[in-house]
Structure 1
Amino acid sequence: MIAGHQVAFFLRELGSPDPGRRAAAAKGLGRVPGHAAELAALTADPAPRVRAAAAQGLGRQGGAAPVEPLLALCRDPDAEVRRRAVNALDRLGATGPAVTAALVRLAGDTALRNRPAVLGRLLRLAAPVPAGALVPLLADPDPVIWSPAGSLLRLLPEADAVLAGLARTAGGEVRRRALHLLARPQAGVPGMGTPDAGSGAYEAAWRRLWEPVPEVADALLAAVEAEHDPEARSVLLRALAAHRVPAAVAPAAAWLADPRCGPAAAAALAGAGTAEAAGLLRRFATGPAAAGLRAAAVRELGAAGGLAEAGLLLRLLDDPAEPVRLGAVAGLGAFFRRFDGGPIERLERWRAGRVPGVPVPPPSDDPAVRDAARRTAGLLAGMLAADPEHAGAYHDALWHVPEVRPLLPALLEDPDGRVRSTALHLAERFGEMDFAGRLRRLDDADAGVRQGAALAFLLLAEERGLAPDERDALRPHLGRALEDTDHYVRTFASRTLARLDGEPAGQRP
């Protein structure tokens, strides 16, 4: 702790004609609470080293420190002063429009040694930085500069227009980075994540994606037309798919039969979602093209079409070509994802009401939709039992088909562990698995089944806790699971036991 006589010495030294002594005094005062006023006055000192020391000291003064002098130092002609001012603002946790504006100005400050910290803070604040300030940073060789710059760019509604322009006009690393960002149009969009009940951020993010500002669609379409590299063209077509651009129908149709760009073109048609796009996919899916290309169109039919297309997908489950059959499985999964009563269904209706040529989908409780779901559940359950090699494909397709529930008990007793594991996941998904059934599957011969049961118990313990009798019944099984040959089973069991040991005795929370 600094003594009173030392404080008096520092205060006297502030009047020294030697800048080094004034700077040392400022550093010393910075460690003593209650001297924000003296330090603030030093931010106007003619010596850069004194202003830097004053900024550092203000950062240690806590809530008593005024922010305005530090904001002024963010414009200081000396880079070290600017660096110390940024660090002080960060240490104080200063926020507000003026702080954000100061950080935005510094984003392009090439002389600033802590510029990565500035970019990181802007990213944490989700601050809108003008695209003109970010684009030059994409050419920086250091990933701690160009990576956060790309993430900041993604926050802007016009991001993909800027990136498409770079993909069309830039070269080298800048073009490569622009295409990398375009390949993930959903990544980094504010609100794009797990739906938050009561918050409109999730659906607002999807609306931004599906109804982009006009320059996004225009720039992507121009970039597709000018592109010569098949891989880059595929990235651009998939970006058009993500933004669900109706005008993508013509350029996508032109590349539908291309062996390298065909799958991306099919995705762009599905994204467009118009009756014309669905018709093109339907004709191509049943045409003479190679099985791999037909499979891509079949997969996308479910995302674009209505009940007629779902009926076609059900018929294509018997196609002699395996890629087409699996494409139909994926297509049915995409179709029923749109009819599960969740936010995607609401968004589909919102978009159909706004985009000419996009048919309004039937409601999820439409008898014809539910009849198609029952047929889908029966056929896919049978295919799962007969073709466990592709269990993951059937799992994903049935995830949005609750009509599979009555078929799960038989699948849970299937001789193939991959089938039992898939059935267990679906049973957990649809609330068809009770405590006793889950307990029995902790001793299953298949590691995948044991993993699913162990994970389910962990989630159960974390989310709602367990009654005393359930804990007593579970502990011996978890004890045996600690010796399991499977790493994940051991890990889940260990975490569940730790959770149980931390629960108070008595009734379930």
Structure 2
Amino acid sequence: MIADHQVAFFLREAGSPDPARREAAAKGLSKVPGQVSELARLTADPEPEVRAAAALGLGRQGEAVPVELLVPLCSDPDAEVRRRAVNALDRLGATSPAVAASFVQRVGDAELRNRAVVLDWLLRYEVPVPAESLVPLLADSDPRLWGGARSLLRLLPEADAIFADLVRTATGEVRQRALDMLASPKGGIPGMGVGATPEAREAAWRRLWDPEPRVVRALLAALEAETEPHARSVLFRALAAHRVPEAVTPAAAWLADPECGPAAAAALAGAGTVEAVDLLREFALGAGPRRDEARSVVVDLLRRFVSGAGMRRAEMRAAAIRELGAAGGVAEAELLLGLLDAPDKRVRLGAVGGLGTFFQRFDGDLPGRLERWRAERVPGQPVPPPPDDPAVRELARRSAERLAHMLTVDVENASSYHNALWHIPEVRPLLPALLEDPEGRVRSTALHLAERFGDMDFTGRLRFLNDAHPHVRQGAALNFLLVAEKRELTPAERDTLRPHLERGQDDTDYYVRTFTAKALTHVGHASHGRVGHAS
């Protein structure tokens, strides 16, 4: 606590002709509430050390500080004054347009030692920054600068054009950093994050699926110039994420390549045109008759590849089969259903994945709903049937029956069947039998699906908390934790559940102990210090 006589001393010293004493006075006043006016006067001091101390002090004065006092200091001729002003505004939580404009100007300030604070602030509030200010920072050695710069670039609609140009023209770490961003084309797009509003999320997906022409041109140019297989695959997958119809021709040329083939198949699926689906079907099932001379070279290439032998060929075919489900219609999904009988396990699992991606397009989430919007905008894009189309639902019923049966006889690949059935509600009538299956991994998969479709009640979940298989107990414990966190348990259910959760603290499985311990904190009692114990 600073005494009144000390405050009076600081106020006298603030008018001293000695700059060092004025600086000391500003630092002293910064610790005294209610000194905004005196510190504001010192921001106009002719000596930069005094102005810097005043900016520091204003940052400590709290909400009473008018932002307009600090914004001009962000453009002060002295770098230390600018640094203190930036820190003060960040500390005060200032968010005005004037602050945003000032911080954008500071992105290119090489003398500013705390530019990372500026970048973090701009990213936090998703403020667009001109690309020409950000691209030079990608070559910086400080990860806070190049990392913040590339994340800010992703806010721009033309971001992937910039990254593609850098992949094509840059070298070393700059090229790699751009390539890493193209490898995650959804990451950092405004509206894609957790907590985004439905409107922002839809806008984000529309941006991804309807990229600016510059993005398409840059990605195709980078692909044409690329000589390194991994980078070529990244570019194909970026084209797939952006659903670029113009990717069909280059993707067809690389579809049979052992290293880039799966990514090329993804690009064809993303394009989703009739021609792209035909090419995927031909590659997956064997080349059919030629439809025109323009495609003869591609079809010949596919025919030679598909007629070959070897492990790699089967893996490539499986990749194309999976992508066929992402792009094809009911006819293609019927072909995938037939491939569940294929003798090669990789082909069978490719068909399982393909059916999963097919039905994912009809399970009511936003990307699925936007399929029709995109189809109406893209020439050559088939319009998918509505989710309640009788042919789709009948196919879903038959697929659920086949996949559920395969799950019981191929538990080694339970996760593949789980992922496919996650999008097929027609599995619900089959879940009671699967929940009683003697194999624990089958019961675990069925429990996850029952929770997914709302078919698991308190009593059933409680029974599975005592299951013999640890994965089943994990699923039950996790879901009890979730319902406890949401306060969806009645008082009677909490009383019934509590001793089961307490016994869970002696479970041999770490995750069961962890989930039950956390759940206990929400039902009124928790055993402490035993999560890491195994009996």
Return the letter of the residue paired with 1:142.
D
- Give the distance between the partners of 1:417 and 1:227, measured in 2 at CA: 48
Match of residue 434 from structure 1: 457
Match of residue 121 from structure 1: 121
Greater Cα offset, 436-445 or 372-381: 436-445
**Aligned residue runs from structure 1 range 246-261, under 5 A:** 246-261=245-260
| 2:52 paired with 1:52 | yes
Match of residue 33 from structure 1: 33
Q: Please say if residues 237 and 263 of structure 2, whose CA atoms lie closer than 8 Å, have aligned partners that are also in contact.
A: yes
**Aligned residue runs from structure 1 range 61-460, under 5 A:** 61-194=61-194, 199-287=198-286, 289=306, 290-460=313-483
Match of residue 42 from structure 2: 42
- Give the distance between the partners of 2:525 and 2:462, measured in 1 at CA: 21
Q: Using structure 1 for the length normalisation, give the TM-score.
A: 0.96
Provide the aligned C-alpha RMSD in A: 1.4
- Give the distance between the partners of 1:3 and 1:411, measured in 2 at CA: 75
- Give the distance between the partners of 2:494 and 2:61, measured in 1 at CA: 51
Question: Offset of 1:104 from its aligned partner?
Answer: 1.2
Q: Please say if residues 295 and 326 of structure 1, whose CA atoms lie closer than 8 Å, have aligned partners that are also in contact.
A: yes
SS at match of 1:240: helix
The one-character-per-residue Cα deviations of 1:184-225 (angstroms, maximum 9, x if unpaired) are 0001111114586x7311111100000011111110000000
Return the letter of the residue paired with 1:361.
P
Greater Cα offset, 179-188 or 283-292: 283-292
The one-character-per-residue Cα deviations of 1:135-154 (angstroms, maximum 9, x if unpaired) are 11111111111111111111
- Give the distance between the partners of 2:432 and 2:252, measured in 1 at CA: 44
The one-character-per-residue Cα deviations of 1:69-127 (angstroms, maximum 9, x if unpaired) are 31111111211111100111112211111101111111222221211111111111111
The one-character-per-residue Cα deviations of 1:229-270 (angstroms, maximum 9, x if unpaired) are 000000000000000001000111110000000000000000
Greater Cα offset, 160-169 or 117-126: 117-126
Greater Cα offset, 321-330 or 67-76: 67-76
Greater Cα offset, 494-503 or 233-242: 494-503
Match of residue 507 from structure 1: none
Q: Please say if residues 70 and 85 of structure 1, whose CA atoms lie closer than 8 Å, have aligned partners that are also in contact.
A: yes
Greater Cα offset, 181-190 or 21-30: 21-30
Matched residue count: 502
SS at match of 2:506: coil
- Give the distance between the partners of 1:130 and 1:482, measured in 2 at CA: 54
Question: Offset of 1:502 from its aligned partner?
Answer: 6.8
| 2:504 paired with 1:481 | yes
Question: Offset of 1:405 from its aligned partner?
Answer: 0.6
Return the letter of the residue paired with 2:243.
R
- Give the distance between the partners of 2:337 and 2:199, measured in 1 at CA: 35
Cα gap change, 1:52 to 1:193, in 2 (>3 Å)? closer
Greater Cα offset, 37-46 or 321-330: 37-46
Match of residue 506 from structure 1: none
Return the letter of the residue paired with 2:352.
V
SS at match of 2:524: helix
- Give the distance between the partners of 2:144 and 2:204, measured in 1 at CA: 27
Match of residue 468 from structure 1: 491
Q: Please say if residues 270 and 277 of structure 1, whose CA atoms lie closer than 8 Å, have aligned partners that are also in contact.
A: yes
SS at match of 1:95: coil
Q: Please say if residues 417 and 446 of structure 1, whose CA atoms lie closer than 8 Å, have aligned partners that are also in contact.
A: yes
Question: Offset of 1:475 from its aligned partner?
Answer: 2.1
- Give the distance between the partners of 1:465 and 1:306, measured in 2 at CA: 40
- Give the distance between the partners of 1:500 and 1:60, measured in 2 at CA: 42
SS at match of 1:378: helix
- Give the distance between the partners of 2:523 and 2:66, measured in 1 at CA: 49
SS at match of 1:363: coil
Return the letter of the residue paired with 1:347.
L
- Give the distance between the partners of 2:382 and 2:64, measured in 1 at CA: 61
Return the letter of the residue paired with 1:469.
A
Cα gap change, 1:98 to 1:284, in 2 (>3 Å)? same
Return the letter of the residue paired with 1:37.
S
The one-character-per-residue Cα deviations of 1:394-427 (angstroms, maximum 9, x if unpaired) are 0000001000011111111112111111011001
The one-character-per-residue Cα deviations of 1:471-499 (angstroms, maximum 9, x if unpaired) are 23222222221100001101111111111
Question: Offset of 1:465 from its aligned partner?
Answer: 2.7
Q: Please say if residues 167 and 175 of structure 1, whose CA atoms lie closer than 8 Å, have aligned partners that are also in contact.
A: yes
Q: Please say if residues 67 and 89 of structure 2, whose CA atoms lie closer than 8 Å, have aligned partners that are also in contact.
A: yes
- Give the distance between the partners of 2:161 and 2:341, measured in 1 at CA: 42
Question: Offset of 1:34 from its aligned partner?
Answer: 2.7
Greater Cα offset, 459-468 or 412-421: 459-468
- Give the distance between the partners of 1:346 and 1:465, measured in 2 at CA: 30
Q: Please say if residues 443 and 472 of structure 2, whose CA atoms lie closer than 8 Å, have aligned partners that are also in contact.
A: yes
- Structure 2 counterpart of 1:495, from 498, 506, 518: 518
* Runs (5+) with no aligned partner, structure 2: 287-304, 307-312, 527-535
- Give the distance between the partners of 1:203 and 1:64, measured in 2 at CA: 39
- Give the distance between the partners of 1:476 and 1:40, measured in 2 at CA: 62
- Give the distance between the partners of 2:65 and 2:358, measured in 1 at CA: 58
- Give the distance between the partners of 1:450 and 1:3, measured in 2 at CA: 63
* Runs (5+) with no aligned partner, structure 1: 504-509
- Give the distance between the partners of 1:40 and 1:495, measured in 2 at CA: 50
Q: Please say if residues 203 and 343 of structure 1, whose CA atoms lie closer than 8 Å, have aligned partners that are also in contact.
A: yes
Runs of 4+ off more than 6 Å: none
Cα gap change, 1:119 to 1:444, in 2 (>3 Å)? same
- Give the distance between the partners of 1:352 and 1:53, measured in 2 at CA: 60
Q: Please say if residues 421 and 452 of structure 1, whose CA atoms lie closer than 8 Å, have aligned partners that are also in contact.
A: yes
- Give the distance between the partners of 2:525 and 2:502, measured in 1 at CA: 16
Q: Please say if residues 195 and 202 of structure 1, whose CA atoms lie closer than 8 Å, have aligned partners that are also in contact.
A: no
- Give the distance between the partners of 1:101 and 1:467, measured in 2 at CA: 52
Return the letter of the residue paired with 1:303.
A
Return the letter of the residue paired with 2:415.
G
Question: Offset of 1:323 from its aligned partner?
Answer: 1.1
Q: Please say if residues 337 and 344 of structure 1, whose CA atoms lie closer than 8 Å, have aligned partners that are also in contact.
A: no
Q: Please say if residues 461 and 499 of structure 1, whose CA atoms lie closer than 8 Å, have aligned partners that are also in contact.
A: yes
Return the letter of the residue paired with 1:57.
G
Residue identity (%): 71
Q: Please say if residues 498 and 525 of structure 2, whose CA atoms lie closer than 8 Å, have aligned partners that are also in contact.
A: no
